[in-house]
Amino acid sequence: MKITVLEGGLSPERDVSKKSARLIANALLRKGHEVALVDLYDGIENDDSPIGTFFRRGTVQPYEYDIPESEPDLEAVIASHGGRREWVGPRVIELCKAADSVVLGLHGSHGENGQVQALLDAYNIKYTGSGYLGCAIAMDKDFSKSIVAGAGLDTGRWFTDDAENVTLERIKNEIGIPCVIKPIGCGSSCGVSVVKTEEEVSAALAYADKYDQRILVEEFLTGREITVSILNDKALPITEIIPHEGFYDYKNKYQAGLTTHICPAELGEEKTKQIGDLALKIFHLLRMEQYGRIDMIVDEENGKIWFIEANNLPGMTDTSLLPEAATHAGISYEDLCDQIARQCEKRA
C-alpha cells in the first residue's frame, strides 16, 4: 500500500505526534509499505525535501524524534513559518490524495477534534481511526462525560464554563477541593492540574486557560488508574498506571522510567471482563471507531468504575499504552501499525 502518515500540526501535542508518527512510519516501512511522512502544519514547501516522498524500506534512514520534557512553543513554530496560521500546510492534501491510506499520527487539536477527519471526508480520502463525529464527541470532555452520565454510567461530578466564570468559591461550592482542572479539549495532560489546596487554584486556572478553551473542573477521584485500549471492536489487556511522583502528566507520560505500567492489570477475571465490556460500551456510545482508549478509575472501596475521558488517537510512542496492551495481546508493534493502516478499507 501507499501510505501517507500525518504528524505534528499546530497542537500542544505536536512533539508527541512527531514521535508517534515516525515510529509508525518506520514500522510500516518494515512491513513492506511505501510511506510518505508529512507534518500537517509544515506541509511540503521545498520540492527537494525527502519528507513527503513515498519511500520503500532501505531507501530512507529510519525516522527519529525525541520528545522534550515540556510542551512546544506553538507561536515560535508559527513564527518560523512566516506567521502562517493556516493549520494545513502546502501539498498536504495532494499527498493524502496520492495514498491508499492516510494514517493519522496526530494528537490533540485539529487532529483529534474531528476537523482533519471532516477535511479528508470532503476530499473522499480514506483515513484511519474514528470519523469526524466520534472525534468531536470524544475530544470534548464535557460532551463525552454528559453522554456517559446520560447513559447511567459513573463519571465524577463536574462543571464546564469560560475561564472568567470559574472562581474559587464556585469550585468549593459545586465540586470541592481536591479537584482536577483542565481544558475541555486537550490530551497528553496538557493544561491539567490536580488541585489539592485552595492556594493552587489560581495557577491551575491560568495553566488551563492558556489553551484558549472552556475550562472543566471535576471531582478528584481516588482509586486505581487504568486504561482500556480498544482495537477492532475488542478490548485489549487492561493497563494500570502508577506514576512514581505526582500524577500522570505530560512529563510522566513521555519520559521513560517515570511511570510504572502493569499490563495486564491485576484485577481478577470477573472484574477484568466487567471493565473491558464497560470500556467497549463507552467506545460505542461516543461513536468511536476502529481503535482508541478509554481511561477510568477503579474505586475498590465502593466497587465503582469511573469514566475519566476517551482518547480517539492514542499515543504510539515507545512509552505509550496502546502498543503495550497490543503486545500483551500478542500483536507486535509492526502488526499493530499494519492493522491500523488497513482499517481505512472499512471506511465507506
Q: How many CB atoms lie within 10 A of CB 287?
A: 17
Q: Please, are residues 101 and 314 in contact by the beta-carbon 8 Å criterion?
A: no
254 has catalytic annotation:
yes
| Annotated catalytic residue, options 309, 312, 333, 338 | 309
pLDDT of residue 52: 67
Name all domains of the chain by residue range, CATH numbers in brackets: 2-129+335-346 (3.40.50.20), 158-219 (3.30.1490.20)
Question: Could you tell me whether strands 239-243 and 259-262 are parallel, antiparallel, or unpaired per DSSP bridges?
Answer: antiparallel
pLDDT of residue 325: 96
Query: Which residues in the chain come in under a pLDDT of 70?
Result: 47-52, 187-188, 244-258, 347-348
| Annotated catalytic residue, options 69, 75, 198, 277 | 69
pLDDT of residue 245: 58
219 has catalytic annotation:
no
Q: What is the pLDDT of residues 220-229, one digit of tens each?
A: 999 999 999 9
Dihedral of the alpha carbons of 43, 49, 55, 57, in degrees to the nearest 10: -120
Question: Grid coordinates 522510567 are at which residue?
Answer: 257
| Annotated catalytic residue, options 144, 315, 324, 338 | 315
C-alpha cell of residue 328? 500483551
295 has catalytic annotation:
yes
- Mapping DSSP onto H, E and C, the string for the chain reads CEEEEEECCCCCCHHHHHHHHHHHHHHHHHCCCEEEEEECCCCCCCCCCCCCCCECCCCCCCCCCCCCCCCCCHHHHHHCCCCCCCCCCCCHHHHHHCCCEEEECCCCHHHHCCHHHHHHHHCCCCECCCCHHHHHHHHCHHHHHHHHHHCCCCECCEEEECHHHCCHHHHHHHCCCCEEEEECCCCCCCCCEEECCHHHHHHHHHHHHCCCCCEEEEECCCCEEEEEEEECCEECCCEEEEECCCCCCHHHHHCCCCEEEECCCCCCHHHHHHHHHHHHHHHHHCCCCCEEEEEEEEECCCCEEEEEEEECCCCCCCCCHHHHHHHHCCCCHHHHHHHHHHHHHHCC
How far is 116 from 254, CA to CA, in rounded Å? 24
Helices 14-30 and 333-342: crossing angle, nearest 10°?
100
| Annotated catalytic residue, options 249, 289, 295, 324 | 295
309 has catalytic annotation:
yes
| Annotated catalytic residue, options 130, 229, 311, 320 | 311
| Annotated catalytic residue, options 20, 63, 293, 338 | 293
pLDDT of residue 217: 96
Greatest Cα pair distance in the chain: 61
312 has catalytic annotation:
no
| Annotated catalytic residue, options 63, 132, 254, 333 | 254
Please name which of 109, 77, 68, 73 lies closest in space to residue 253, comparing C-alpha atoms.
Answer: 68
How far is 342 from 340, CA to CA, in rounded Å? 5
How far is 131 from 129, CA to CA, in rounded Å? 7
pLDDT of residue 347: 67
| Annotated catalytic residue, options 188, 229, 252, 320 | 188
pLDDT of residue 251: 46
Q: How many CB atoms lie within 10 A of CB 170?
A: 13
Q: Say if residue 79 is exposed, middle or buried (CB neighbours under 10 Å; 0-12, 13-18, 19+).
A: exposed
Q: Output the pTM of the full model.
A: 0.90
188 has catalytic annotation:
yes
pLDDT of residue 80: 94
Euclidean distance between the first and final Cα of the chain, in Å?
18
